[in-house]
Structure 1
């Protein structure tokens, strides 16, 4: 049935067999799925489904639900119930059958034609073979300090690409954050204004040929006021007051920022190596409160991000009347509050909200004020947790916080201590 689902996605796209897709094709599919369903499947997850990366023996039902929804079904169960065994058998046979002689003859004819037309060293053949193997390229990185902001030096070798190839470095998951580099150079630098765990990429003619982890750490808690340009970095004494971690309205006022006339986002970051704690066995418990009373939107939004190797959880809270604006990000799944009931994430910030995220025994759940508001499957493959950030609309405070697994505690914060 999974093979049949894959075949139906391929048929809808009209791109041919996924065995021949490039990384760019999988990126395009991820974007199309998001545009259609408002739920995100990562390129890595899609490649595993298609057998182009380490194969998932039993993909999560959530992943199969999203793919089923993409081709017009409500969920995976409805998709399975819509087809009988004979069409299924024929479709899989059609997808897996390879007409060897026909393909061979076509390849010969195309190769002769291209060889006849393009003879110089910059030919289409040269350009194509230059980007086939990622082993032809080198890409590594190093940070230059332990501070924020932090510059990263990228060392690369893209000399095997054609003279006319467009070569870029992408700083993280966002395709818009690409800088053009020269094929004949070997060094490029980028500046990172915020901490986090990023997957930088070497991109040749739109195809990702290499990836490199970039880990920008904090020394302690870092407080920032976000701006379109570089953020405002707050002093330690500005975020630790009255025995709590907070970014208070009076701090904004000191920087001539008025959340009543403009949308203001602030953040508190703790990004570092916590130790051997991973996504398949952890619990984060936290008290948080949005303290903005007269903001422009009136929604008092807050969002907790748990960063892990290759991704992040994004867990939102707001006033109850604003839950339609929320969105939830869990294991590459984007859940839109305009298409899903996220009313459980609505709270009254007159007092601290109690948030718990628990991942154990392949089960992931979120509790708000002791009530379960989300339950799903967690992947078996452990991914190391790299950090926590909390972002508030306007201003906010963090109370007690603990990060632990089933056997030990890795971080304990009581009223801003440590």
Structure 2
């Protein structure tokens, strides 16, 4: 194996992954970013790459060896390819005369004198390659989108697990690859036969998704897909992809949604060495938009032992094709936070997010006010941050809370003008 060539391929694949993430310069990424990246890759590929492995790939930790094939396959899949072999094949094919294996040339003792035309060719060849690559990048397959059909139906009206049956007609695709993306993230796509009509899958978590029919690399059809939660839903994520669902009668206590140590023990979910990742959902079409609303909730996470010392919590206001993500944590851990609101991102590395530090062992009141392209965040009645956004407004479709260890949520509501929606 030519390690130098392999390293160049890895760098190209990392650059492609960075571009698709849109998180900015990777030199500024923190440990929290790599934790989120590990989770994002797992959601996209079903394979977990550790934070240490990712830091080695991105040069944050010294490592002189070529990564394992499994790691490279996962990286290539995250970048939108079937595996590492396909990625290298396409990269090699993009440049005329370049193959995956370098050509072996026998050395000669005498060095012949170059002719003038050889010097000219040496100057023109890079220019020819650049022009050819530009031609390839701007060449698209002409596809008539009206030749394709795509729709879906759920097997149950609400709640999860929920099977979705996609019905499609891609008979006009010819030799082009046909794929279905089950969400907004086109990396999470599966190849389906062009001569068939149906594809079924299971959604284990509720949410809003934008399903897509893809021919080659072009999206020809897409539609909204809402998997509602059927009210409040608490679950624990598992590595297998199928979460542990808590019964409503077990998690609803005195008008609050609570997952405590007793409930975790009943489901044999240990808190050590790493606490379970708890998720609380309430997904439904609320009939309000994300540019004009007030959101209020109270929450706490009492467990703070071991790796849960920072008591990290994320509150996500789910929107169609967008989201608002508010971080909360112990006061000593505010140096590694990310706040997201309608396409605008603020990080602790370049913004003062210390106002989101609090004692989550006690009930914490969180409030969000959005109006006139501005969003104000309040923690326990004190303004924590103000953020301006420019994204076009879209519908709010529910909530997701992310906890580590234990979780509790109560007194949740949205308000728009005189209208109050209690959840």
Normalising by the residue count of structure 1, what TM-score does the alignment of the two structures yield?
A: 0.66
Deviation of 1:283 after TM superposition, in Å, equals: 0.7
2:418 to 404, 407, 417: 407
Correspondence for 2:262: 250
Structure 1, residues 325-353: CA drift from partner, whole Å, max 9, x if none? Answer: 32222112333334433211111123211
Q: Higher relative contact order by CA 8 Å / sep ≥ 6: 1 or 2? A: 1
Q: Distance in 1 between matches of 2:412 and 2:392?
A: 26
The answer to whether the 8 A contact 1:168-1:203 is kept is yes
Q: CA 1:31–1:270 in structure 2 vs 1: closer, same or farther (change >3 Å)? A: closer
Asked if 1:398 corresponds to 2:388, the answer is no
Alpha-carbon spacing, 1:32–1:278, altered in 2? closer, same or farther (3 Å)? closer
Against the structure 1 CA distance between its residues 134 and 371, is the aligned structure 2 distance closer, same or farther, given a 3 Å change threshold? farther
Distance 1:339 1:159 in 2: 51
Query: After the TM superposition, which segments of 4 or more aligned residues of structure 1 sit over 6 Å from their partners?
Result: none
Partner of 1:195: 206
Residues 1:226 and 2:237 are matched in the alignment: yes
Cα 1:33–1:348 shift into 2, 3 Å: closer
Q: 1:185–1:216: structure 2 CA closer, same or farther, 3 Å change rule?
A: same
**Offset at 1:382?**
3.3
Q: 1:34 to 1:138 in 2, by over 3 A?
A: farther
SS at match of 2:325: strand
The superposition leaves residues 231-265 of structure 1 with CA deviations (integer Å, 9 ceiling, x where unpaired) of 00101122112442111111111112112212411
Match of 2:164 in 1: 152
Q: Given the alignment of the two structures, is residue 259 of structure 1 paired with residue 271 of structure 2, yes or no?
A: yes
User: 1:373: how far off?
Assistant: 2.0
Tell me which of 313, 330, 335 is aligned to 1:319.
330
TM-score by length of 2: 0.65
How many pairs align? 299
SS of equivalent residue, structure 1 residue 250: helix
After superposition, residues 271-286 of structure 1 pair within 5 angstroms as 271-274=283-286, 276-286=287-297
1:153: how far off? 1.2
Q: Could you say which residue in structure 1 is the equivalent of 2:50?
A: none
Contact 1:130 1:160 in 2 (8 A): no
Q: CA deviation at 1:222?
A: 0.7
**2:192: which partner in 1?**
181
Q: Give, in whole Å, the separation in 1 of the partners of 2:233 and 2:23.
A: 35
Alpha-carbon distance in 2 for matches of 1:159, 1:128: 19
Query: What is the CA–CA distance in structure 2 between the aligned matches of 1:175 and 1:323, rounded to whole Å?
Result: 32
CA contact 1:130–1:162 (8 Å) conserved in 2: no
* Aligned Cα root-mean-square deviation (Å): 2.6
- Correspondence list, 1:92-241, <5 A: 129-131=141-143, 133-145=144-156, 146-163=158-175, 165-229=176-240, 230-241=242-253
Shift of 1:357: 0.9
Name structure 1 gaps, 5 residues minimum: 1-25, 40-123, 414-418
1:337-386: CA deviation from partner (whole Å, max 9, x where unpaired): 34433211111123211111111122211111222222223447431111
Query: Structure 1 residue 323: deviation in Å?
Result: 1.9
Aligned counterparts of 1:399 and 1:176: Cα–Cα separation in 2: 35
Q: Aligned-pair distance for 1:196?
A: 0.3
